[in-house]
Amino acid sequence: MAATIEPQLLTESTQDYLKAIYELTQAGGGAATSSIADRLSVSPASVTNMVQKLAERQPPLVTYRKHYGVELTNEGRLAALRTVRRHRLIEQFLTHVLGYSWDEVHQEAERLEHAISPLFEERLAILLGEPRFDPHGDPIPDANLTLPDSCALPLYRAAPGQVVRVCRVRNDNPALLRYLDELGLRPGLRVRVISSQPVDYTLQVELVDYDKQVVLGQALGEAVMVEAI
Amino acid sequence: MAATIEPQLLTESTQDYLKAIYELTQAGGGAATSSIADRLSVSPASVTNMVQKLAERQPPLVTYRKHYGVELTNEGRLAALRTVRRHRLIEQFLTHVLGYSWDEVHQEAERLEHAISPLFEERLAILLGEPRFDPHGDPIPDANLTLPDSCALPLYRAAPGQVVRVCRVRNDNPALLRYLDELGLRPGLRVRVISSQPVDYTLQVELVDYDKQVVLGQALGEAVMVEAI
DNA sequence: GCTATAATTTAGTCTAGACTAAATTATAAG
DNA sequence: CTTATAATTTAGTCTAGACTAAATTATAGC
Ligand SMILES: [Mn+2]
Ligand SMILES: [Mn+2]
Ligand SMILES: [Mn+2]
Ligand SMILES: [Mn+2]
């Protein structure tokens, strides 16, 4: 069992780097210097610099081979999951208690995730009823940092004719989220795939609950994750 | 009307310096370099350095004359009040929504006050019902940064025989707050002064609501603020 | 008016985390 | 196998905000 590092021992920057590496790794693409730089809006040189420090820490938070990218150690992964937990709990709080819309929460949580204490995290989880998913359907690691299962099928890969349920929206872009919200494409809703174009990734779907048809482009078809009903 | 500076344009450090200067000035003693240093747990040299920057900003946030201490400009005062408002709203939230005790809130609010957005501040105030006082009885500036009146009489100056109501506790020390809490000396409660020693500042008082007598030393007699009933 | 003392300021460093520009490396294409 | 290109790393700076040690200043007491 790796000793878990308390968040207050990590700077805000360090927490954001670890989280970015974790999320890039989850997304499958691997955590290249440039992708970390893009995600955090810093220069590639800054990433190299930070990544070298993370690798030289005791205990090391990443393993790093020059020019071949970076991976989280177990300590690094736990630290990242801790920040992910806080981020998503805060998003849930913002929507359910403070009445934020789901496109407003990310920015706010991005700062607050670094400012809360372990006590705050614990009390917040209790207040919210130990939620397993955030407003975007993103899974919230529990207090032991175990992630609940979450759906893995992007809408654009669902078979035509199939009726599925939206369970997650993997995109932070506020404009995209507002648009999905207008359409009514939120976690929990049912969708029937009418047609699916493999070439240009456009979709025609029916929102079963609203008896409404909409056309979705590539960005939306990739962002909306679904599960079979 | 001075333009008010949005908090996100001020660093965490800057906000804390302005707040410290504001609170020292309120307490009456004047904001000397060394008292700011004490309050923020930094060296006097660091204070001089920061104070010079605050004076040279456009607009200036303080006026500064070497060796004679520092005063807030109107812009500086408004920025300080904004941070005070956030701090006290957060303390109220922590006690009333997350179940913190009043000795735990200060530390947490000291970080969160810098991390919330104007929207969070506004929604929080609505959620809490636009409270005018925080858990310690400290007045909360309203959205226009106007402070409600708060009581000004320290318990040690109340006349023997007088029955008064506790309205505020001016002290951040967790041990002192826990002790007052045990005694039952919280805002709202009635106290009758039995005796008051001007020399060693000890007090003997009766907690009218609990029909209990206690003896208070100088620190407590100065911290507990009361109003005539 | 002088001087001892305490408070304050100056001068010089340090660290974290960013940046740009230049150098290096991996690799795809010929 | 060579080379062009893109990605990455290195080298050198910068800023904010802290520090210590040394110098300076205000002022209280003689
Ligand atoms: Mn963040
Ligand atoms: Mn989310
Ligand atoms: Mn603070
Ligand atoms: Mn308070």
Q: What would the pLDDT profile of B177-201 be if each residue is shown by its tens digit?
A: 999 999 989 999 999 999 988 778 8
Of B93, B119, B149, which closes a domain? B149
> How crowded is residue A221: how many other Cβ atoms within 10 Å of its Cβ?
20
Of B124, B149, B174, which closes a domain? B149
CA of B38 to C1' of C8 (A): 14
Same domain? B159 vs B220: yes
How close B178 gets to chain A, by Cα (Å)? 18
Q: Any idea what the CATH number is for the domain that residue B178 is in?
A: 2.30.30.90
Burial class (CB in 10 A: 0-12, 13-18, 19+), A130: exposed
Of A149, A181, A208, which closes a domain? A149
DSSP annotation of A7 reads G
pLDDT of residue B1: 61
Same domain? A210 vs A223: yes
CA of B126: how far to CAs of A5, A97, B129, B130, B131, in Å?
A: 36, 11, 5, 6, 9
Segments in B100-186 forming alpha helices (H) = 105-112, 118-127, 174-183
Q: Give the Å distance between the CA of B124 and the centre of ligand 4.
A: 16
Q: Any idea what the CATH number is for the domain that residue A110 is in?
A: 1.10.10.10
Same domain? A129 vs A176: no
Same domain? A30 vs A85: yes
Q: Nearest to residue A69, comparing CAs of A37, A30, A22, A16?
A: A30
Nucleotides of C under 7 A from a protein CB: 7-12, 16-22, 25-26
Same domain? A44 vs A98: yes
Query: Which residues fall inside 7 Å of strand C, measured at CB?
Result: A 11-14, 41-43, 45-46, 49-50, 53, 66-67; B 32-35, 44-45, 47-49, 51-52, 64, 66-67, 69
Same domain? B15 vs B120: yes
Same domain? A157 vs A220: yes
Which residues face B168 on adjacent strands? B225
**What span, in angstroms and rounded, lies between the C-alpha atoms of A165 and A189?**
6
What is the domain range of residue B143?
1-149
Rg (C-alpha) for chain A, rounded Å, is 19
Same domain? A77 vs A122: yes
Q: Give the model confidence (pLDDT) of A133-181 as tens digits.
A: 999 999 999 999 999 999 989 999 999 999 999 999 999 999 999 999 9
Same domain? A90 vs A116: yes
Pair A73, A59: CB distance under 8 Å: yes
pLDDT band at B28 (very low <50, low <70, confident <90, very high): confident
Q: B165: part of which helix (H) or strand (E)?
A: strand B163-169
Question: Is the model's pTM score more than 0.85?
Answer: yes
* Chunked mean pLDDT (size 10), chain A, 229 residues: 85 98 91 96 98 96 95 97 98 98 97 98 98 97 96 92 95 94 93 88 92 93 93
Q: For A48, what's the count of Cα atoms within 13 Å in the CB-facing half-sphere? A: 8
pLDDT of residue A229: 86
Ramachandran angles phi, psi of A29, nearest 5° = -70, -15
Same domain? A173 vs A118: no
Same domain? A13 vs A111: yes
pLDDT band at B2 (very low <50, low <70, confident <90, very high): low
Residue B175 has pLDDT above 80, yes or no: yes
For helices B12-27 and B44-56, what crossing angle results, to 10°? 100
Domain total for chain A? 2
